[in-house]
Structure 1
Amino acid sequence: MSTEILVNIGQQETRVALVEGGAAQEIYLQRASRHGLVGNIYKGTVQRVLPGMQAAFIEIGLERTAFLHVADMLALPTGQGDGETTRVDTPRQLPPIQTLLHEGQDVLVQVLKDPLGSKGARLTTLLSVPSRYLVLLPYEPHCGASARIEDEAERARLKQVVAKISGELAPKFGVIARTAAEGVEEGPLAADLRFLLRLWTGISEQARRAGPRSMVHGDLPLSMRILRDLLGTDVERVRIDNLDEFKRVQQFARVFVPEAAARIDHYEGAAPIFDLYGVEDDIDRALGRKVDLKSGGHLVIDQTEAMTTVDVNTGAFTGHRNLEETILKTNLEAAQSIARQLRLRNLGGIIVLDFIDMRNPDHRVQVMRALEKELKRDPARTHVYDFSPLGLVEMTRKRSRESLGHILCMPCPTCEGRGSIKTVETLCHDIVREVSRASRQFEARHFLVLAAPAVVQRLTEDAAMGLAELEATLNRPIRLQAEGSYHPESFDVVPL
């Protein structure tokens, strides 16, 4: 499957699309007014320690205080001999956070997750500094290799090489081989480690001089970060539509990723670069709830702060043989589309999939296998659980960046994010009740109702709304006044 990276440089925005097989799979954005924070290192100050939550709020100079849990301050070996680590998550293993932190204390932290909604950034004190092939772990002295390298023999080789070079160059540090290190010999890995050690020396010195609540180290610009994080051996080329940025990225590549320099091109086409492969259209579609399937079925994706739900529907697809065939084919196609949409929209956290009910257990197995196969291509860590008794599939996807929808959209000012507003009829009944309530509270000669034009028109024309009957009962006039500037749900009842 051919893979390309498209880089669009705007005046105040950089966009990157990872395209596989002619379809956009991942979208990255960086704006001058709003940079992603994941990977940045800050000198923070402990604002408040919460023993009951085993957490602390840390001031790092952002709009909202950041969150640090005790589990992100400690790591233990998995015991599997692979050099990987896991955050401590068993309550009896966790020391009281007040023994580790106190209010007013300065602490060096790194952003694990960007701020999301009303939540501040998620932090860790287990710092990691990535380069092209390796990740340096200053406070976790162990060696290992990325679990995404599927070839066990290659993982074993890399762990052996990493252990050797770290023992020689950085015996007090931990080192992890990244996926890009697959097939790389000892020489380039050692050079990468020397670069990381020099970088860490600079970070340590900057941290010593930095004042509280300030950034110590920021990650690379997006156009260069993609060479480090996305450019694998399967990427055929990188196209950049800005000549100056193309030159900067090429210069960076010659120094840090020399084998990739020949694959970086300056795009000079007449059409905008994101019109290639329909990337712009994919972005627009990724902001909607409904995703059409080729068979005629569709997905409905709803993202909330707690979780994301995906509902699968057959739509216009009826099959050619029987209902079970229709359902299986739709669900298999949905599994493939769901995996792509999770990557494209960058949806994370808890995700609940509501496939169409299948009576045949073998069909369920086929759908689960199809879903797991597609998710293997996702660089974000996922965990999928089998069908529940209610026929739902629950899964999680690691969330580090904000979703595409959160970056590009804002809550609707009309419905305030609910997704619906009261009907005109409902508002009419609300107004009638409010007038009746006001008549008991105020000794008014008459009442003035101000509302949106559609509401006033319905109250005037439809006797079923009961306003005329209420006017007769109260024996006091009720005057209506349309206000074009009113929110559709707003109204005022003024006693006069």
Structure 2
Amino acid sequence: MSEEILINVTPRETRVAVVENGMLQELHIERASRRGVVGNIYKGRVQRVMPGMQAAFVEIGLERAAFLHASDILRPQVQGTDAADAPVLEKSQPTPAISSLVHEGQEIVVQVVKDPIGSKGARLTTQLSIPSRYLVFLPQSRVLGVSARIEDEAERTRLKTLIAELANGSGQGYIVRTNAEAQPAEALAEDVAYLRRAWDVIKQAMATTRVGQRVYEDLALPLRAVRDLMRKEVTAVQVDSREAYERLCGFARQFMPELAQRIEHYTGERPIFDLYGVEDEIQRALQKEVPLKSGGYLVIDQTEAMATIDVNTGSFLGQRNLEETVYRTNLEAAQAVARQLRLRNLGGIIIIDFIDMTDDEHKRQVLRTLEKGLAHDHARTSVHDFSPLGLVEMTRKRTTESLERQLCEPCHECNGRGTLKTPETLTYEIFREITRAVRQFEAQQLLVIASPKVVGKITDEESAAVAELEEFLGKSIRFQPDEQYAQEQYDVVLL
């Protein structure tokens, strides 16, 4: 599998695309006016303690107060625990009452683990972690772990032994990241030295920073992309900015010298995203329907509570029988779903409605295909078996807004409903409003201003109803179309 990272830099926006075998798989966006805050460390003040929620709201200088749960204040104290790329809690430890951990007005150093999403504030933890190329440093923990994605037992043992030697009884924890697989001891030792220097700087800043200010900021998107996404499968990193290219080269020479030569400065005349078809893929990723090569299609809906994906056969008729047609469509859909989740950055609860299958082996194969497709996903996922209703339930860790919510806003005409009232519905609504207005106020004549589509419906198809209403009310009613009015907008004016 060949993989490339494309970096498009403009003064106000940076975009990073991950392309596998010529197909866009991931897109990361960072805008100067709205940088993500995940990984940043702040000095905050506890605003409110909510015992019923086992949580507190902390003011850290963002637009909304951030959320800190009691379980995110505790630290695991067991050594030798396996872990993924982020620290995890020891679930067996009981969580004390939030009021025994923090109090209103208390100053507290916290780290953002989830960006503000929708109407929710950022999610916080006091369990500080600092990532590097190969490690995650846990300065307040003794956990020494290896990413669960490294499956070779001999390699896991080597890395555990190595990180234990490098920790050297410091009483501080480390998680070995997936990128560390097959890396020499010298590379991990360099990361340990870098992380300790960074921690010294952070400790000094914690002592002098005021409440509501940032103590530590994670790297900018291009550097994060190289740090987190650069793997041995990546054949090239192409960046279209000379300044960003030089910065990336310097960063790579310091932290990943063996991969530095793969960073290239793109100087072509065509925009880099156009050359690889990324712009078209982005536009398609904002559509609800995703066509499949077989003729089937997916319908993806994102709501506040969850994302739902419906699989349809469409025009695919198959070669043998219905069960085989359904099975083939579901296999293709499973691969497409795994890609769309990464591309659209959908997170939280996800419900997939595959086409009903009767063969249990077919169901198992579809699940295996989905899990195999998700194996390359950097976000943590959990897939459950088919439910009695034939649905597949899964979760995907969400730390930032989805692609749609980063690039789009709710429709101003329908207020995000996704549908508009029909002209017929609005016609009868206007008739009721006219009747209400006449009963409340004195008027000789009424003027209704509405969109041309609604006025056309009333004057062409409902003229008899208008005449009946005028006779019933004893008033004259005039209709005026206005191009500036949205379909659901209208005014009833008393003259």
Alignment of 1:63-102 (within 5 A): 63-76=63-76, 81-82=81-82, 86-87=88-89, 93-102=94-103
Tell me how far apart the structure 2 counterparts of residues 465 and 487 of structure 1 sit (CA, whole Å). Answer: 25
Alignment of 1:40-439 (within 5 A): 40-76=40-76, 81-82=81-82, 86-87=88-89, 93-167=94-168, 171-439=170-438
User: Which residue identity does 1:320 align to in structure 2?
Assistant: Q
What corresponds to 2:444 in structure 1?
Answer: 445
Q: Name which of structure 1's ranges 407-416 and 439-448 shifts more when overlaid on structure 2.
A: 439-448
- How far off is 1:273 after superposition? 1.0
- 2:277 is paired with a residue whose SS is helix
Unaligned runs of 5+ in 2: none
CA deviations on 1:204-228 (whole Å, 9 max, x unpaired) are 1011100100111101111111121
- 1:93 is paired with a residue whose SS is coil
**Structure 1 residues 252 and 82: alpha-carbon distance in aligned structure 2, compared to 1, 3 A threshold:** closer
Contact in 2 for aligned 1:74/1:88 (Cα 8 Å):
no
User: Which residue identity does 1:133 align to in structure 2?
Assistant: Y
Tell me how far apart the structure 2 counterparts of residues 78 and 143 of structure 1 sit (CA, whole Å). Answer: 9
- How far off is 1:447 after superposition? 2.3
- 1:7 is paired with a residue whose SS is strand
**Structure 1 residues 38 and 323: alpha-carbon distance in aligned structure 2, compared to 1, 3 A threshold:** same
**Structure 1 residues 465 and 156: alpha-carbon distance in aligned structure 2, compared to 1, 3 A threshold:** farther
Contact in 2 for aligned 1:111/1:123 (Cα 8 Å):
yes
Tell me how far apart the structure 1 counterparts of residues 358 and 465 of structure 2 sit (CA, whole Å). Answer: 51
Tell me how far apart the structure 2 counterparts of residues 77 and 204 of structure 1 sit (CA, whole Å). Answer: 21
User: Which residue identity does 2:157 align to in structure 1?
Assistant: A
**Structure 1 residues 464 and 482: alpha-carbon distance in aligned structure 2, compared to 1, 3 A threshold:** closer
**Structure 1 residues 70 and 229: alpha-carbon distance in aligned structure 2, compared to 1, 3 A threshold:** same
Q: Name which of structure 1's ranges 376-385 and 182-191 shifts more when overlaid on structure 2.
A: 182-191
- 1:385 is paired with a residue whose SS is strand
User: Which residue identity does 1:82 align to in structure 2?
Assistant: D
Tell me how far apart the structure 1 counterparts of residues 361 and 453 of structure 2 sit (CA, whole Å). Answer: 54
Name the TM-score, length of structure 1 as normaliser: 0.96
Q: Name which of structure 1's ranges 440-449 and 210-219 shifts more when overlaid on structure 2.
A: 440-449
Q: Name which of structure 1's ranges 123-132 and 483-492 shifts more when overlaid on structure 2.
A: 483-492
User: Which residue identity does 2:285 align to in structure 1?
Assistant: A
- How far off is 1:268 after superposition? 1.9
What corresponds to 2:24 in structure 1?
Answer: 24
CA RMSD in angstroms comes to: 1.7
- How far off is 1:464 after superposition? 6.7
Contact in 1 for aligned 2:338/2:370 (Cα 8 Å):
yes
- How far off is 1:187 after superposition? 2.2
Contact in 1 for aligned 2:83/2:147 (Cα 8 Å):
no
Tell me how far apart the structure 2 counterparts of residues 79 and 217 of structure 1 sit (CA, whole Å). Answer: 27
Contact in 2 for aligned 1:354/1:391 (Cα 8 Å):
yes
- 1:483 paired with 2:482, answer yes
- 1:395 is paired with a residue whose SS is strand
Tell me how far apart the structure 1 counterparts of residues 259 and 127 of structure 2 sit (CA, whole Å). Answer: 31
- 2:188 is paired with a residue whose SS is helix
- 2:218 is paired with a residue whose SS is coil
Contact in 1 for aligned 2:76/2:141 (Cα 8 Å):
no
CA deviations on 1:28-57 (whole Å, 9 max, x unpaired) are 111111111110111111111111101111
Aligned residues: 493
- How far off is 1:297 after superposition? 0.5
Tell me how far apart the structure 2 counterparts of residues 277 and 259 of structure 1 sit (CA, whole Å). Answer: 26
- 2:433 is paired with a residue whose SS is helix
What corresponds to 1:495 in structure 2?
Answer: 494
Tell me how far apart the structure 2 counterparts of residues 77 and 406 of structure 1 sit (CA, whole Å). Answer: 38
Contact in 1 for aligned 2:46/2:104 (Cα 8 Å):
yes
What corresponds to 2:456 in structure 1?
Answer: 457
Name the TM-score, length of structure 2 as normaliser: 0.96
Tell me how far apart the structure 2 counterparts of residues 152 and 469 of structure 1 sit (CA, whole Å). Answer: 84
- How far off is 1:455 after superposition? 1.4
CA deviations on 1:143-171 (whole Å, 9 max, x unpaired) are 11111112122112111111111025xx1
Tell me how far apart the structure 2 counterparts of residues 201 and 81 of structure 1 sit (CA, whole Å). Answer: 26
Q: Name which of structure 1's ranges 444-453 and 328-337 shifts more when overlaid on structure 2.
A: 444-453
Contact in 2 for aligned 1:428/1:465 (Cα 8 Å):
no
Q: Name which of structure 1's ranges 412-421 and 342-351 shifts more when overlaid on structure 2.
A: 412-421
- How far off is 1:456 after superposition? 1.6
Tell me how far apart the structure 2 counterparts of residues 83 and 419 of structure 1 sit (CA, whole Å). Answer: 41
- 2:210 is paired with a residue whose SS is coil
Contact in 1 for aligned 2:7/2:222 (Cα 8 Å):
yes
Tell me how far apart the structure 1 counterparts of residues 319 and 265 of structure 2 sit (CA, whole Å). Answer: 48
Tell me how far apart the structure 1 counterparts of residues 14 and 464 of structure 2 sit (CA, whole Å). Answer: 54
Identity %: 56
CA deviations on 1:51-89 (whole Å, 9 max, x unpaired) are 110111111111111111111112446898536763366
Tell me how far apart the structure 2 counterparts of residues 250 and 60 of structure 1 sit (CA, whole Å). Answer: 34
- 1:357 is paired with a residue whose SS is coil
- How far off is 1:181 after superposition? 1.0
- 1:396 is paired with a residue whose SS is strand
- 1:28 is paired with a residue whose SS is strand
- 2:231 is paired with a residue whose SS is coil
Contact in 2 for aligned 1:55/1:97 (Cα 8 Å):
yes
- 1:466 is paired with a residue whose SS is helix
